[in-house]
Structure 1
Amino acid sequence: GYKDGSVLYSRIIDVIKFARKFICVENITWTQSFAKLTWSRISDLVITHFLSEAVPDEASKLIGFQDVIRSTTEFENTLRGMMFISPDRKDGKLTQFVDDVEVHFAVRKRNEILVKARYILVQYDYKNPLASDDHGDSVVDLLFQPEKCFISKSALQLMKLVHGALKDACLSSARVAKEFCYAARDALLLYKAIVPVQLEKQLNSISPVAAIIHNDFYHLSQEILGLAFEYRADFPSGQQKLVVFVDLAPIFSQMADGILRRQIQLAAANLSEAIDGADGFQNTHQSQHCESAKFSIEQVVFILEKIHIMWESVLPRSIYRRSMFHVLGPVFSRITKDMLLIDDMAAEETLQLQGLIHLALENLSSLFLSLVENDDDEKFLDHHTWVQLDESIPSLKKFRKLAELLDMSLKSITAAWESGELANCGFTSSEMRNFIKAIFADSPLRKECLGWIVATPA
């Protein structure tokens, strides 16, 4: 071929110079008449046999096509200087063709990228993403955190498409790079537009899919921030600011937060409903009420374990822990509050309530262990583990202490209050007075102990 066309154009110019000198005898009017007769045919032949074949079919070849554009522009400018074509660019048929080719290539590539992005997002099966045997490559490193998380194949493929578009942009002219950049941006926005609507049902229920979509948005928000660092230096001059998608990063981050917040709210609502079934944990000395209270605790444990298994395998560890703390805190706080509001407890009731607390704690041991940093191969709930948990979930400390209080003597309870131990666990003076009145019959000792509690500030 003619590569950039300079050799072809040089030969055509030599022919035209010969015609101008020996046929038109340097007469401008004759030269222009000769041009009117021949230029349309010459330009058509150049387009058909050279320019059309030189049109690139991929971005990596567009830089080479810039040489064709330059030589074509120089060719027509030379012809203008020779008065062979009009100086007002009306006859710039070849330049118009090469300019249009670049625009059409850019727009076509942009549309191709968006079609691929939409296909990826619409066709991906989100129903059971964890069941696939080849989901190992879906566990990715977060860009700005030393953690991993599970993302969907669609997010993985989408980022591959975005990276491909930006790599092509780095090899393209400024005009084409702009289109590739817009295509990458639009592909990301397609995820935000399509996936939440497509998976609305799953996002409005506690599901592993919702956790994965949270991860997708979270991962994409970090990847978006990294694009500028990765590609800006290689972008065509004057286009570097286009690759900085910083305005998209907070949008995706907020979407991730919103999805996770919704999951936590749904979990809280389910847990609250389960606790409601205990009817305030009153009258547990009666078998019917005792069974209801026990079933309520078992339901709470079931829901928490379900969330534990679902979230731990998917969410980044720091987000998993933080989310579980948000869920667990109100649970222990609510159960403790309900038990402390009981205004009269028989001796058998205190034992039943203590048993319910122990039931919850024992059945949640695997969940508790998943929330602490423990380097031991054989994990168990030791003192250090409980200290970590109590610091992260203050209401758990109070919940555990309540189990002890239900089996303590009046003097021991009073001494624990005076020492500040109970206040450190979150108990208030009012709660302790009501608790003592509910468990211990009226007596001079009870009156005296209540007086000490009132007199001793928390």
Structure 2
Amino acid sequence: MASFVTEVLASSGRLEKEDLGTKINRLSRRVEEVKGEVCDMINKKYDEFLPSMQSAEYLVTQVNNLNKDVDLLKLRIENEVQNDLKVAISEFTELKQQLEKNTIILAVLQQLQEFNSAIEKYNLTLSERNYISAAEHLEKAQSCLKTLKSRKGFELQVLKSLGIELTVQKQNMLYHLGEEWQKMAVWKLPPSKDYSSLEMILKTELHLCALPSTDESRSGPILGSVLQALAILGELNTKLKFFSQLLLNYILKPLVKYPSLHVLVESQPQGVIVRFESMKTELEHPSPPQVFMKLKLVLGLLHKHLLDAPLESQKVLEGNKVVLAEVLGDLIWEEISEAIIKDCLVYSIPTNSSKLELYEEVIKATEEFENTLKGMRYLKGDATELLKYARNVNAHFASKKCQDVIVTARNLMTSEIHNTVKITPESKVTLPKLQSPSGEKVKGQKSPSHEASALENEVKLSPHTFSLPTCRISESVEKLMQLAYQTLSEATASNPPCSIQLFYTVRNIFHLFYDVVPTYHKQNLQKLPQLSAIHHNNCMYIAHHLLTLGHQFRYHLPAPLIDGAATFVDMVPGFRRLGTETFLAQMRTQKEELLDRLSNARSFSNMEDEENYNAAHKAIRQVIHQLSCLGKVWQDVLPVTLYCKAMGTLLNTAITEMISKITALQDISTEDGERLYALCRTMVEEGPLVFTPLPEESKNKTFQQEVPVYVQKWMKFKELMIILQANLQEIIDRWADGKGPIATEFSTNEVKNLIRALFQNTERRAAALARIK
């Protein structure tokens, strides 16, 4: 039988009629014959050399001819047979591609048939209200369409129409499911969307009805079928999310926010109705146990009538078994727990450390509330942020206490400064009662009693040695200091972390005062002398207490405060500097005003001119009036010594300016001298009146008699008045060769200038000038 290759080549018409296989066999036989002859030739080689030689050459020629025939045959096969093989392979590939295309077409037709069958079954089951089966068929149709669309290079115009049909059917089913859901959870909301109003919340109702309908199939309660169908379609979360927002805004959050709001439950044949009522209460914020009780009532009703539907194990949501309560819990828990913390637990944090023990009831109620929700499957896992917040009461107490202290302190700092109270050496701050420090003393540290006994001496100090002098301070500053003492007392009764936080809150109070008061009251402190004096006293009062404030509580505070960190002494220089700088700035302002008024006196020259004299007299009256006004606002405010120094400095500024102007005059007539003397006498008579003591201090007149002590140029001013009325001889006598009272106050040049201005150029004047050395 001819080979396959031979048949192919023969059918192509490219070979001769002779069979290639036959020729190859014949050629092989011929090769065998030649091989035998060669062997015979070799055997006879040594017997018959010459005859065999010729025979060998003949055989070689025949072998070469056979080799040529073999090469020609191989070349023919390569050129003709292999080309025919390529053509055959190409035809076979085309047949294979056609077969694959036919297979794909069959698969597409099968998918289209399955899609059509799924849609038909969906319509049938939907009409029977078998929502679970309808949803499964719809999902199967969706899967078929997805498979069809995923085939690349194979697109059908009908796919777009199928997608539109599938979308329409899905929306149709969601509409039916929505209608069923609305029958189970019916909301009656107030006309206004303002759910922050208690009046609107009272108009809210929720009707829960989970009983099967009269025409329901035997597959079970329709609630489970509806919810399962929504889960299959992936719309359960969306439906419950909308429901959860209504639940939060109109029921749960208002129950947390309003203490007067209570839940009314009305039972119906097919379910329950949830309503609200308002009851009078004096509470501004509800207590946590009350809030938890209300929330458990509402969530329990939802679990019983809506979320406890029997679900089959095949019902899955994102790969997990559907637990309706968990789905709703995930949607509402974050917001409701935040609302409970913000509107309830925050206000339940005690403001006094003595009430911290009572807070254990709140922690217990919170734990019971969460356990109840876990039992109804609303929550899963360990402690939530709500319970963590309740258990961390010590930290929240410290934070709330510190926040309240800072807010109270800031309100005091921004209140009016001019409301004052009087402080006397007998005034004392009522210190809180502190328990004796427990435990052993720190090594190398003496107790307060040892330190006090070490300071005792036979010579006793005055009880007022370290007291603040009598003055007036702001009422707000006194309250601020009382707040500091109360807070430190609270720190001694708290746990160590809270105690440390409260201590540094007190330090922050004084840092806040240092920054806020000078900025907030800046304009008033600059413009109103009384307020600058009160602010000075406030700073000195605070600095006075800061010296011992830390030491008083040191042994009742935890480490590292007991080891020396409980101190306020480092803040004392800053407060003293703050008060001093503010008052000195006011003093500079008053000095500038005094000098500005005296600048209108026209340098006290040419007093014979009535206009000049009136201007000078007016300037003197203005100076005295300014000093008098300052005396009225400062005398009852500043300590006596500081008041005298301040008024003496200002009075000294005025008379120093007058002395410099008068001694600079080059010509003083007799009338000028009399008028200058009158002006100076006005200053001498009325200037010291600012040192007149208050009625309650009338017994202490020593500071009034010591005007020269506080007014540095007072004696010089009096000597100037004497010079203005004296003759040459009297001036020479008071000079007393540089040892008299005039020489004590005036320099040689000043006396000579006055003599030249007061007296005409005569021999007596020249002689007098010669004696002034």
TM-score of the two chains, using structure 2 as the length reference: 0.44
Match of 2:771 in 1: 452
Q: Which amino acid aligns with 1:439?
A: L
Alpha-carbon shift at residue 425 of structure 1 (Å): 4.4
Moved over 4 A (4+): 62-65, 95-99, 140-143, 374-377
Residue 423 of structure 2, aligned match among 131, 134, 139 = 139
Alpha-carbon shift at residue 400 of structure 1 (Å): 1.4
> Are 1:202 and 2:524 an aligned pair?
yes
Alpha-carbon shift at residue 429 of structure 1 (Å): 0.5
> For 2:482 and 2:468, how far apart are their aligned partners in 1?
21
> Secondary structure in 1 aligned to 2:507?
helix
Match of 1:278 in 2: 601
**Per the alignment, do residues 231 and 424 of structure 1 end up closer, same or farther by CA in structure 2, a change over 3 Å counting?**
farther
Match of 2:213 in 1: none
Residue 538 of structure 2, aligned match among 206, 212, 216 = 216
- The superposition leaves residues 77-128 of structure 1 with CA deviations (integer Å, 9 ceiling, x where unpaired) of xxxxxxxxxxxxx99x9x9889833222212211111111122223x234x5
Alpha-carbon shift at residue 392 of structure 1 (Å): 2.9
**Per the alignment, do residues 322 and 229 of structure 1 end up closer, same or farther by CA in structure 2, a change over 3 Å counting?**
farther
> Secondary structure in 1 aligned to 2:725?
coil
Alpha-carbon shift at residue 190 of structure 1 (Å): 2.0
Contact 1:56/1:62, CA 8 A, preserved across alignment: no
Match of 2:416 in 1: 125
> Which moved further from structure 2: 144-153 or 196-205?
144-153
> For 2:528 and 2:719, how far apart are their aligned partners in 1?
31
Contact 2:543/2:571, CA 8 A, preserved across alignment: yes
> For 1:63 and 1:398, how far apart are their aligned partners in 2?
71
> Which moved further from structure 2: 55-64 or 284-293?
55-64
Please tell me whether Structure 1 or Structure 2 has the larger radius of gyration of its CA atoms. 2
Q: Which amino acid aligns with 1:213?
A: H
Residue 753 of structure 2, aligned match among 406, 412, 434 = 434
Contact 1:152/1:216, CA 8 A, preserved across alignment: yes
> Which moved further from structure 2: 329-338 or 340-349?
329-338
Q: Which amino acid aligns with 2:726?
A: M
Q: Which amino acid aligns with 2:423?
A: V
Match of 1:61 in 2: 354
Q: Where in structure 2 are the equivalents of 1:314-325 lying within 5 Å? A: 314-325=637-648
Q: Where in structure 2 are the equivalents of 1:33-72 lying within 5 Å? A: 57-61=350-354
- The superposition leaves residues 9-34 of structure 1 with CA deviations (integer Å, 9 ceiling, x where unpaired) of xxxxxxxxxxxxxxxxxxxxxxxxxx
> Secondary structure in 2 aligned to 1:345?
coil
Q: Which amino acid aligns with 1:428?
A: S
Q: Where in structure 2 are the equivalents of 1:415-426 lying within 5 Å? A: 415-418=733-736, 420-423=739-742, 425-426=744-745
> For 1:280 and 1:170, how far apart are their aligned partners in 2?
67
Contact 1:397/1:425, CA 8 A, preserved across alignment: no
Alpha-carbon shift at residue 227 of structure 1 (Å): 0.3
Alpha-carbon shift at residue 57 of structure 1 (Å): 2.2
> Secondary structure in 1 aligned to 2:592?
helix
> Are 1:110 and 2:402 an aligned pair?
yes
> Secondary structure in 1 aligned to 2:772?
helix
Q: Which amino acid aligns with 2:766?
A: K
- The superposition leaves residues 32-83 of structure 1 with CA deviations (integer Å, 9 ceiling, x where unpaired) of xxxxxxxxxxxxxxxxxxxx9xx97244438979xx9xxxxxxxxxxxxxxx
> Are 1:166 and 2:457 an aligned pair?
no
Identity among equivalent pairs (%) = 22
Q: Which amino acid aligns with 2:354?
A: K
Q: Which amino acid aligns with 1:121?
A: M
- The superposition leaves residues 310-330 of structure 1 with CA deviations (integer Å, 9 ceiling, x where unpaired) of 111111122212222222222
> Which moved further from structure 2: 390-399 or 56-65?
56-65
Contact 2:468/2:541, CA 8 A, preserved across alignment: no
Contact 1:140/1:151, CA 8 A, preserved across alignment: no
**Per the alignment, do residues 200 and 376 of structure 1 end up closer, same or farther by CA in structure 2, a change over 3 Å counting?**
closer
- The superposition leaves residues 149-204 of structure 1 with CA deviations (integer Å, 9 ceiling, x where unpaired) of 21112111111111111011111222111111111111222222222122111121
> For 2:642 and 2:391, how far apart are their aligned partners in 1?
51
> Secondary structure in 1 aligned to 2:751?
helix
> Secondary structure in 2 aligned to 1:105?
helix
Q: Which amino acid aligns with 2:753?
A: N
Residue 408 of structure 1, aligned match among 720, 726, 739 = 726
> Are 1:395 and 2:713 an aligned pair?
yes
Alpha-carbon shift at residue 260 of structure 1 (Å): 0.7
Match of 1:185 in 2: 507
Match of 1:363 in 2: 686
> For 1:125 and 1:449, how far apart are their aligned partners in 2?
63
Match of 1:292 in 2: 615
> For 2:707 and 2:770, how far apart are their aligned partners in 1?
33
Alpha-carbon shift at residue 350 of structure 1 (Å): 0.4
**Per the alignment, do residues 163 and 321 of structure 1 end up closer, same or farther by CA in structure 2, a change over 3 Å counting?**
same
Residue 443 of structure 1, aligned match among 745, 749, 762 = 762
> Secondary structure in 2 aligned to 1:344?
coil
Contact 2:491/2:498, CA 8 A, preserved across alignment: yes
Contact 2:551/2:566, CA 8 A, preserved across alignment: no
**Per the alignment, do residues 125 and 369 of structure 1 end up closer, same or farther by CA in structure 2, a change over 3 Å counting?**
closer
Residue 266 of structure 1, aligned match among 576, 589, 593 = 589
Contact 1:63/1:173, CA 8 A, preserved across alignment: no
Contact 2:351/2:400, CA 8 A, preserved across alignment: no
Q: Which amino acid aligns with 1:432?
A: V
TM-score of the two chains, using structure 1 as the length reference: 0.72
Contact 2:398/2:501, CA 8 A, preserved across alignment: yes
**Per the alignment, do residues 414 and 424 of structure 1 end up closer, same or farther by CA in structure 2, a change over 3 Å counting?**
closer
> Secondary structure in 2 aligned to 1:290?
helix
Contact 1:282/1:289, CA 8 A, preserved across alignment: yes
- The superposition leaves residues 415-452 of structure 1 with CA deviations (integer Å, 9 ceiling, x where unpaired) of 11125233564211110000000001111111111111
> Which moved further from structure 2: 137-146 or 107-116?
137-146
> Secondary structure in 1 aligned to 2:471?
strand
Greater helix share, structure number: 1
Q: Which amino acid aligns with 2:397?
A: F
> For 1:304 and 1:153, how far apart are their aligned partners in 2?
27
Q: Which amino acid aligns with 2:748?
A: S
- The superposition leaves residues 347-388 of structure 1 with CA deviations (integer Å, 9 ceiling, x where unpaired) of 0000000000111122224213349xx9758x6x9xx965x2
> Are 1:149 and 2:471 an aligned pair?
yes
> Secondary structure in 2 aligned to 1:406?
helix
Q: Which amino acid aligns with 1:437?
A: R
Alpha-carbon shift at residue 407 of structure 1 (Å): 0.7
**Per the alignment, do residues 400 and 208 of structure 1 end up closer, same or farther by CA in structure 2, a change over 3 Å counting?**
same
**Per the alignment, do residues 338 and 145 of structure 1 end up closer, same or farther by CA in structure 2, a change over 3 Å counting?**
farther
**Per the alignment, do residues 199 and 146 of structure 1 end up closer, same or farther by CA in structure 2, a change over 3 Å counting?**
closer
Q: Where in structure 2 are the equivalents of 1:13-52 lying within 5 Å? A: none
> For 2:693 and 2:595, how far apart are their aligned partners in 1?
23
Q: Which amino acid aligns with 2:509?
A: A
Contact 1:224/1:249, CA 8 A, preserved across alignment: yes
Higher RCO structure, 1 or 2 (CA under 8 Å, sep 6+): 1
> Secondary structure in 2 aligned to 1:394?
coil
Match of 2:659 in 1: 336
> For 2:405 and 2:749, how far apart are their aligned partners in 1?
66
> For 1:393 and 1:215, how far apart are their aligned partners in 2?
23
Q: Which amino acid aligns with 2:728?
A: L
> Which moved further from structure 2: 215-224 or 293-302?
215-224
> For 1:445 and 1:173, how far apart are their aligned partners in 2?
92
> For 1:337 and 1:349, how far apart are their aligned partners in 2?
16
> Secondary structure in 2 aligned to 1:151?
strand
Contact 2:595/2:654, CA 8 A, preserved across alignment: yes
> Are 1:229 and 2:551 an aligned pair?
yes
